[in-house]
């Protein structure tokens, strides 16, 4: 069942939004199916189609690659690959604690930097209060940075303490 809207009719807010959206296409008669007004999930059909096309395309590529590709197994193909260098040593070797400390500090400061983006979006609305608030935040981050710098966590040339 189709509905025809005219300018004289009183419309609900949903119908007004739909009518306004359709008026942008010209002054032709506007017909909207009743399914569009009743089902909220109809808007997501294009997204569903895009996801399905992506899945089908990826599957087709993998299957064609498997069917058309050459399958020659050699010893070189079964060795671990480490950035173009022949692997040396055992994969179970111990890493320095400094590696983990620097990795955790990177994640910590990276997350702190992410908090700057929402502030930057609303910085003008916050006015001077937002400026001083962010100045305190950056000050605290810098205090933490200078603390780890003074502790020598970022200095890779210092020998590690021996356990014993």
Question: Would you place residue 152 in the very low, low, confident or very high pLDDT band (cuts 50, 70, 90)?
Answer: confident
For residue 90, tell me if it sits in a domain: no
Is residue 131 included in any domain, yes or no? yes
What integer pLDDT is reported at residue 95 of this predicted model? 74
Side-chain half-sphere of 5: how many Cα atoms within 13 Å?
A: 21
Q: Kindly indicate the confidence band of residue 161, based on its pLDDT and cuts at 50, 70 and 90.
A: low
64-89 burial string, b = 16+ CB within 10 Å, else e? eeeeeeeeeeeeeeeeeeeeeeeeee
Structure tokens at 150: 């003074």
Token digits of residue 124 = 């003008």
pTM above 0.75, yes or no: no
Taking the CA of residue 96 as centre, how many other CA atoms within 13 Å lie in the half-sphere pointing to its CB?
A: 15
Sequence-ordered list of residues with C-beta below 8 angstroms from that of 43, at least 6 positions apart, any chain? none
List, for residues 11-69, the tens digit of each pLDDT value: 555 555 454 444 444 445 444 444 444 578 888 999 999 999 999 999 999 999 999 98
What pLDDT does 73 receive? Answer: 84
122 within some domain: yes
The residue ranking higher by pLDDT, 57 or 98, is 57
Q: Which residues contact 91 (CB under 8 A, 6 or more apart)?
A: 80
Per-residue pLDDT tens for 105-146?
A: 888 888 888 888 888 899 889 889 999 999 999 999 899 889
Please count the structural domains in the chain. Answer: 2
In a domain, 133, yes or no: yes
Answer yes or no: are the C-beta atoms of 17 and 36 closer than 8 Å: no
Asked whether the beta carbons of 131 and 123 are under 8 A apart, the reply is yes
The pLDDT of residue 15 is: 52
Domain assignment present for residue 157? The answer is no
Going by C-beta distance under 8 Å and a sequence separation of 6 or more, which residues neighbour residue 4? Answer: 29, 30, 31
Is residue 49 one of the residues assigned to a domain? no
Q: Is position 89 within any domain?
A: no
The pLDDT value given to residue 13: 52
- Provide the β-strand partners of residue 85: 82
Q: How far is CA 92 from the centre of its chain?
A: 32
Domain extent for 144: 96-151
What are residue 73's phi and psi, to 5 degrees? -90, 125
pLDDT at 93: 74
Residue 24 or residue 149, greater confidence: 149
- Residue 101: partners with Cβ closer than 8 Å, 6 or more residues away: 153
């Amino acid at each position: 069942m189709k509905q025809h809207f005219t300018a004289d009719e009183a419309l609900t807010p949903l119908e007004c939004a739909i009518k306004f959206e359709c008026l942008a296409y010209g002054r032709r008669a506007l017909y909207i199916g009743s399914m569009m007004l009743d089902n909220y999930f109809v808007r997501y059909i294009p997204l569903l189609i895009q996801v399905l096309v992506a899945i089908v395309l990826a599957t087709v590529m993998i299957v064609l690659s498997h069917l058309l590709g050459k399958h020659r197994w050699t010893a070189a193909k079964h060795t671990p690959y480490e950035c173009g260098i022949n692997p040396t040593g055992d994969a179970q070797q111990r890493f320095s604690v400094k590696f983990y400390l620097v990795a955790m500090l990177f994640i910590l400061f990276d997350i702190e930097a992410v908090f700057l983006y929402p502030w930057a979006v609303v910085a003008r609305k916050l006015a001077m209060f937002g400026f001083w608030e962010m100045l305190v935040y950056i000050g605290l981050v810098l205090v933490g940075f200078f603390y780890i710098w003074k502790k020598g966590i970022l200095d890779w040339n210092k020998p590690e303490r021996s356990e014993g």
